[in-house]
Chain A
Amino acid sequence: MSVDTQAPATAAEQFARRRQSPLQRIQHLLHAHPSLSPLMVLIISCIVFTIINPRFAQPGTISIILQQTAVIAALAIGQTLVILTAGIDLSAGAISILSMLLMANLAVNNGVPGFLAILIGIAFGTACGFCNGLLVTRLGLPPFIVTLGTLSIFTAIGLLYSGGASVGKAKMPDILNVMGTRFPIGPFNITLGVLVVIALAAVVGFALSQTAWGRHVYAVGDDIEAARLAGIQVNRVLLSVYTVAGLIYGFTAWVLIGRAGTASPNAIVGANLETITAVVIGGTSLFGGRGGILGTMLGALIVYAFNTGLALAGVDDQLRILTIGVLIIVAVSIDQWIRKVKA
């Protein structure tokens, strides 16, 4: 017995079964695979940049792009988790800097063994994320306001704690700089940090797509009320997301020391917004519930490919910034268009 009796097709039903235009088919394809659009942007832009300046495709250039991307990509993994729940984390970079200053100062000025200093730094980053999560879930404040506040708080704590001073590479124990270790893979020159970030992306991507926790993260961002009614403990999911994001930012501090060679309170100043840029260009929706880690990795690569590609093409610095701005708006427009997909 069927609910819908098979009546002869009406005009409207025939209309519903009409052949789709190519544009509609693209819309459906992007709806099913949201990371396709950043992938296409990345491939096309790489081809164009190579045509403009063949040096773009040299292994050396690609290696540098990968090394540059690693830190922002790692932070953007945490940012993706937060944005998937329809939140936003303006304090991503600030937490990472704070963790980094803690690691370096503990190891250099307080004589804490390097490995322990790293663990304490990561734990502190996790605690910062946990604070964000508590403020969002317990006080019910909008994530934008919470993290705007903690951005200032964490930045100020970092400056107060470090006295505004950097810790140089020479004084640090080797383990703090281990992420900067370079080794060749074929013609490419890769750092350990790059590989670790790829592994981190794989782990978080797996958790998002293959575990119940990941599914709950999407459900909470998609429709928080529906998630609650389905029996998901919404606040617990949100708290876990902000805490895991903090853990990732803390871990990224280690990668950041390796990349920068020093621990400076002025490192990655623009990181807070750059992570959001990478996530959005990667096709994750600011309204939550859609997107993923693969897109974010592509988004981060696009930002740095554009930076390098436009620089090699001799484009003015300001125009590079302008181009990234255009990319953000185009990416969000595409997201809005994909959301209007019809059955």
Chain B
Amino acid sequence: MTTSPTPTATATDEKYRGPAGELVDPSTTVLSARDLVKTFGRVIGLDGVSFDLKAGEVLAIIGDNGAGKSTLIKAVTGAIVPDAGQVFLDGREVHFRSPQDARQAGIETVYQTLAVAPALDIAANMFLGRERRRKGPLGSIFRMLDKSGMKTDAGKSMANLGIATIQNMSQAVETLSGGQRQAVAVARAATFATKFVVLDEPTAALGVKETGQVLNLIQQIKAKGLPVILISHNMPNVFEVADRIHIARLGGCAGVITPQSHTPTEAVAIMTGATTLEKG
């Protein structure tokens, strides 16, 4: 297939996108992706996908395995570089070459794999990769870490998100439950994100009660005013927390709906291609 390099050209996506799917001017959104294309050899990962993330919303991206939801998220967080298309952050076009670029721009991602170092304590995990040094010569010459300061701030972040069950910041993460570990990862993302937080299947490895805790955290992040992109194929979770739901299908977008406009059953039907969204 051929793709057009200009954003104004027609993409495969320029059709009816569901009740919440109207694309808006990128200058009014936190994140806008336009006509993203990514191919892996002959496999088409993304076939001209566009979406918007608006301020303060939880946007869920659902889709069957291989529908392109992870590829879509990787393309806007620098984990892969799209072959064509544009990404706008706060109205300005960005080109992320690595996850570090996205992270520096204020985008934080939480992965399903409980990406915390088990033997390190909670405070160390919160600040992993961006440790703070002490002030004065102890920090600048001896490069000493500001351990107590980081511990205090880790405690504050956890408290801000209402994570009351974890008190001791010098507790090794391996002594925590799966849900608590994921809470640490989510708290880390919420603390350092300035633009938005991406949660990639954050509850896939968790039990029911722990899933509830993570969903609660998503609400807390939203309450802080930070938009969230949630990737999941757990319909009840998605319908509980999402404001809008982007349905990925076969590398494209099968529509954007809201929990009010459609039922979970209808969403699954659209996701699997049993029905399609119709105009009108």
Contact = CB atoms under 8 A, between A and B. Distances in A.
14 contacts: A2-B165, A3-B161, A215-B145, A223-B115, A225-B115, A226-B117, A226-B128, A229-B115, A230-B117, A231-B99, A231-B100, A289-B119, A342-B175, A343-B177
B145 A211 contact: yes
B165 A218 contact: no
B116 interface: yes
Can you list the 6 inter-chain pairs with the closest CB atoms, starting with the nearest?
A231-B129, A212-B131, A2-B164, A343-B175, A230-B128, A229-B115
B80 interface: no
Contacts of A230: 115, 117, 125, 128-129
A316 interface: no
A210 B141 CA distance: 12
Interface string B150-178: 00000000000111110000001011110
A218 B117 contact: yes
Size category of the B interface is 35 or more
B128 A223 contact: no
B113 interface: yes
B213 A3 contact: yes
Nearest to A226: B115
B237 interface: no
Nearest to A288: B119
A232 B129 contact: yes
Contact of B175 (A210, A231, A232, A341): A341
B206 interface: no
A290 interface: yes
A227 interface: yes
A3 B117 contact: no
Nearest to B109: A229
Contacts of A222: 117-120
B165 A215 contact: no
Contacts of A213: 143
Interface in B170-220: 172, 174-177, 183, 213, 216-217, 220
Given A212-B133, A222-B118, A232-B128, A3 B162 contact: yes
Contacts of B161: 3
Interface in A206-242: 206, 210-213, 215-216, 218-219, 222-223, 225-227, 229-232
A32 to B, nearest CB: 8
A3 B131 contact: no
A221 to B, nearest CB: 8
A4 B118 CA distance: 22
B239 interface: no
B115 A3 contact: no
Contacts of B124: 215, 219
B42 interface: no
A1 interface: yes
B88 interface: no
B40 interface: no
Given A218-B119, A223-B116, A232-B128, 8 more contacts: A2-B164, A3-B161, A3-B163, A212-B143, A218-B117, A219-B120, A231-B99, A343-B176
Contacts, number: 93
A229 B111 contact: yes
Interface of A: 1-4, 31, 206, 210-213, 215-216, 218-219, 222-223, 225-227, 229-232, 289-290, 341-343
Given A4-B164, A4-B165, A210 B119 contact: no
Contacts of B103: 231
Nearest to A231: B129
Contacts of B145: 210-212, 215
Contacts of A231: 99-100, 103, 128-130
B55 interface: no
A2 B162 contact: yes
A2 B100 CA distance: 32
Contacts of A2: 162, 164-165
A213 B129 CA distance: 10
A218 B111 CA distance: 21
A342 B172 CA distance: 11
Contacts of B164: 2-4
Contacts of A227: 117, 128-129
Nearest to B175: A343
Pick the most buried of A216, A219, A289: most chain B CB atoms within 10 A of its CB.
Answer: A219
B144 interface: yes
A211 B175 contact: no
Interface in B42-93: none
Contact of A219 (B128, B172, B177, B216): B128
A229 B118 CA distance: 14
A231 B216 CA distance: 26
Given A229-B111, A343-B175, A211 B143 contact: yes
Contact of B119 (A206, A212, A290): A290
A56 to B, nearest CB: 36
A211 B144 contact: yes
Contact of A3 (B165, B172, B176): B165
B116 A226 contact: yes
B133 to A, nearest CB: 7
